[in-house]
């Protein structure tokens, strides 16, 4: 991280079982977030990532070789199969990390969450851990390739249990986890997010029902 010009500040950080399993969910500001997660989340992670990352030199090869799950969001059938693979890995004891916003935030705020990681967590009966990051969008902005020096802040929240939940509880779980992540994000000095606009519309990364209504009203 220092070689990249990043000054890391980590905390608060919950005490976690290093063997898991968990489903970590993290807000997404920059491609730099992947390196931060590998370096500072204290468990052996597998990522659920967009299929496009598979084509990035070295990174895509490494993610594939280490058992990462790639999701093609343009193909619903393939996306569902990928989520089932992720669920099977978690049930077998693996810990996964997903970016439920489905895209990088351009201003650093927390966007609405997609349902996939929460479906996996409920089916596997494992806790969801909110992880907040702030500052990485300034080091490596979306669309940029040159790293800039600066501070990146990371906070790891307390695990949120899923025992006894069913798929009818997915949206309630999203709201609970996202609220906790937003609170962590604000603690880091971040913008937080709109707690009322929590669940992303199907096929719409970063757009929730509340945001759609505001656009239609405009």
Would you say how long the chain is, in residues? Answer: 218
Three-class secondary structure of residue 164 per DSSP = coil
Residue pair 160/127 in contact by the 8 Å Cβ criterion: yes
CATH level 2 (architecture), domain 6-217: 3-Layer(aba) Sandwich (3.40)
- According to the model, what pLDDT value does residue 153 have? 96
- According to the model, what pLDDT value does residue 213 have? 45
Instruction: Tell me the mean pLDDT per 10 residues along the chain, length 218.
Output: 74 90 94 86 75 55 56 60 74 86 91 92 94 89 71 97 96 98 97 95 64 43
- According to the model, what pLDDT value does residue 59 have? 55
- Per domain, the residue ranges of the chain are 6-217
DSSP string across 106-123: SSSPPPPBPSHHHHHHHH
- According to the model, what pLDDT value does residue 89 have? 75
Residue listed under structure tokens 């650093």: 108
- According to the model, what pLDDT value does residue 211 have? 52
- According to the model, what pLDDT value does residue 168 have? 96
- According to the model, what pLDDT value does residue 126 have? 93
Angle at 195 between CA 192 and CA 196, to 5 degrees: 145
């Amino acid at each position: 991280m220092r070689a990249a010009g990043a000054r890391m500040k980590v905390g608060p950080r919950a005490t976690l079982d290093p063997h898991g399993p968990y489903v970590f969910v993290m807000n997404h500001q920059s491609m730099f977030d992947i390196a931060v997660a590998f370096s500072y989340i204290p468990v052996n992670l597998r990522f659920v990532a967009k299929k496009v990352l598979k084509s990035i030199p070295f990174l895509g090869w490494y993610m594939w070789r280490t058992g990462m799950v790639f999701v093609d969001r343009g193909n619903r059938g393939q996306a569902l199969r990928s989520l089932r693979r992720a669920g099977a890995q978690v049930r077998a004891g693996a810990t996964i990390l997903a970016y439920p916003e489905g895209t990088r935030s351009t201003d650093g705020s927390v966007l609405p969450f997609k349902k996939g990681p929460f479906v996996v967590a409920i089916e596997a009966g494992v806790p969801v851990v909110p992880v907040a990051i702030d500052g990485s969008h300034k080091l490596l902005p979306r669309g940029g390739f040159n790293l800039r020096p600066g501070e990146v802040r990371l906070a790891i929240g307390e695990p949120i249990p899923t025992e006894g939940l069913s798929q009818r509880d997915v949206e309630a779980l999203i709201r609970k986890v996202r609220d906790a992540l937003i609170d962590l994000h604000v603690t880091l000095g971040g913008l937080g997010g709109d707690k009322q606009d929590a669940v992303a519309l199907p096929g719409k990364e970063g757009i929730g029902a509340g945001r759609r209504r505001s656009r239609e009203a405009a």
